[in-house]
Chains A and B, each alone.
Chain A
């Protein structure tokens, strides 16, 4: 095959042109363009649902694109599977690691490249030594607390992330993708990981860094590509831009729109009081929530916010501390008990905690009400109007109520998952990153739904990975870092700057 004219030493290491991917009716990526030069660290920035994760998965071979093309050093390549990507010298570090929990650290690091003897049997001694060498070579700056023979499933999440980083980076891929891989790491660990990326860059290798953290981009990246609503909207030299300009690109609107002002809160008795609540994931959390109040939980991802919400809801057991709901003390032992006391819960992890994917929209809506009902029979004729009435404000778009909920877009699914509680008349709604991965219009609809509920006197506790969202809808924000409440932001301190500062403080 004759080399095409563009094949040259200085051709980009990887070039994506017009990549697209849809899941059913949901367009995850409309037009992904990205050009990564040799010896470059290229940041990929975009809000949740902007398509950057899908783009990364296509580059990693884990997802096949519907359209578009991929060029490696000017030559067209197709990636049918992750092993194709690996053979093409592309290594990916995922946020939810692709490690095998049942195997040891050493086995995971050598997975697929085990040393073998002449009889083609695995030379486990040599394999382990090789793994130890890789751990020593690449792990020394990372703050690791594991040995080569530890079972990966026993490690804490940050340590697992470090194993994955060592596994991928030590194989010297010509392009390494960090897909929000720093989210569960602390400051020292992130610095260590970046030191590895710089080392790769010095060797002429390239990296794609997907991150939410603006400071990370400015501390390490050479160029940044911004994505919005499934499209690449621009690539900039990092030294030529400032954060505000990037945020403009991300949102498509001027930054620093003032947060919506909220009315003052009444001074009633708190409806939910949490005192010194502790578990493995968080310590000594205290707050009091009043009717109609929206309490935000802020901080980086995975700092114990999600566990806190699920503990209040009775799905996890606290180690110590008190929960008092509407004057009744004691932590609910099960979600069922929590629901009886007027709590409701919705998670952004819809697949896992939210939808009954193979069941109809009607059933998905009705189930929360039915779980509360005492009547053994279900009268659809009576139930349906009530449910439709209670979610009438949600602008739910659907074909028929008997269609499977999987026919809906992510945003509409989430409206069902939250809307199913409205007819049960809850006092407190717990929301765990409820708008993860849904489009901006559906987000707006959900915010409206929240504010209607709030006016009816419902109190909300919300964790969100989206700072803008948190600042917009929360009356005050508890910033959680390493399981501790490190700050409470309200009134004029409720700003993105303070939120970021508190989230990164002392981690």
Chain B
């Protein structure tokens, strides 16, 4: 399949980083260490699934509010649970609904009011940040239930943590939807050629709206599980995911112009980013070096994939 060669680049990158990491600090590529990395990557990985949905739907789709959705999802979950195991499911539902509401607002802004996605999601980030500050008063707030923390971070089965299984599950579900459902076919059609999609009778606005709702919902869920990992919530807990999720999508070979790509690539992209960040730590590379390597790697990936057509 054409999709396979696209995955080769991040796969090679993963192997390369593991080899280099193992050479520099023995034990880096040991299973236990790799599983730990996967646990860290899974939160980003969930957000990447959402970001991929929005980017696949095309029309310059991008979601800069995923970070705020993670934070708000985590905050809502933390406050609903407040340490109580019994409230885990209600907290999950509240988180997901919060995400869906954010996605609905973004999606309506983009599809109905036709505000560019970059502007709309940047603007909604400001509003959500305001809500976060209002709810927390700027302090950490809410607590994870003990049971949730047990399920998320520590090894659950075969030394792999629960969140990784969940990530795989959600990713598999999303991949199934993309390749086997009418929605999946419609989504890439809308992303590939919006006018042709309208001409075969697809409802472009509804499909895009669904992508935004899906994106924010998955992001808020990532927040729900993130609180199981960190225990409590601070306002900026999700900020790290905004641009990393877009980068992971690009590394995974999904075109920012929409209509082409998938979730497996995005997952590999999340792993590449996580490994890249951690391989630099034992090296005692200073922050500046990490940043520079990070940025240059990203540029290298961009050069490998996506050049825009020449303007003829």
Contact = CB atoms under 8 A, between A and B. Distances in A.
Nearest to A338: B201
Contacts of A340: 201
Contacts of B1: 402
B180 A339 contact: no
B312 A62 contact: yes
A340 B1 CA distance: 34
Contacts of A313: 199
B201 A336 contact: yes
Given A358-B259, A367-B189, A335 B181 contact: no
B200 A357 contact: no
Interface string A366-380: 111011110111101
Interface stretch (A242-250, A253-261, A345-353): A345-353
A359 B182 contact: no
Interface string A360-404: 100100111011110111101000000000000000000000111
Contacts of B196: 352-356
Given A340-B201, A371-B186, A402-B1, A356 B259 contact: yes
Given A366-B185, A367-B185, A345 B199 contact: yes
Interface string B129-141: 0000000000000
A334 interface: yes
A376 B182 contact: yes
B312 A378 contact: no
Interface string B178-209: 00111111101100110111111111000000
B157 interface: no
Contacts of B200: 335, 339, 367-368, 371, 420
Task: Determine chain B's interface SS by DSSP, over half rule.
Answer: helix
Given A363-B189, A366-B185, A370-B186, A378 B199 contact: no
A63 interface: yes
Interface residues of A, number: 38
Contacts, number: 89
Nearest to A380: B180
A465 B225 CA distance: 60
A335 B201 contact: yes
A195 interface: no
Contacts of B197: 356, 367
A339 B180 CA distance: 23
B185 A363 contact: yes
Choose among A353, A356, A370, A378 the residue with the greatest number of B CB atoms under 10 Å from its CB.
Answer: A356
Nearest to B203: A336
B248 interface: no
Given A336-B203, A367-B185, A377 B192 contact: no
Contacts of A372: 201
B299 to A, nearest CB: 24
Contact of A315 (B2, B180, B186, B199): B199
Contacts of A357: 192-193
A373 B180 CA distance: 13
A103 B83 CA distance: 62
B219 interface: no
B276 interface: no
Contacts of B255: 358
Choose among B195, B196, B202, B312 the residue with the greatest number of A CB atoms under 10 Å from its CB.
Answer: B196
B260 interface: yes
Contacts of B188: 356, 359, 363
Interface in A111-170: none
Nearest to A421: B200
A352 B198 CA distance: 11
Contacts of B181: 376-378
A357 B257 CA distance: 13
A359 B189 contact: yes
Contacts of B312: 62-63
A370 B185 contact: yes
B259 to A, nearest CB: 5
B185 A358 contact: no
Contacts of B260: 358-359
Contacts of B199: 313, 315, 335, 345, 347, 353-354
Contacts of B189: 356, 359, 363, 367
27 contacts: A62-B312, A315-B199, A339-B201, A345-B199, A352-B193, A353-B195, A353-B199, A354-B196, A358-B260, A359-B192, A360-B2, A367-B197, A367-B200, A367-B202, A368-B201, A371-B186, A371-B202, A375-B182, A376-B181, A376-B183, A377-B181, A378-B180, A378-B181, A378-B182, A380-B180, A402-B1, A403-B2
Interface of A: 62-63, 313, 315, 334-336, 338-340, 345, 347, 352-360, 363, 366-368, 370-373, 375-378, 380, 402-404, 420
Interface of B: 1-2, 180-186, 188-189, 192-193, 195-203, 255, 259-260, 312
Given A356-B189, A356-B192, A380-B180, 14 more contacts: A336-B201, A352-B195, A353-B196, A354-B199, A355-B193, A355-B196, A358-B255, A359-B260, A363-B188, A363-B189, A367-B186, A376-B182, A376-B183, A378-B185
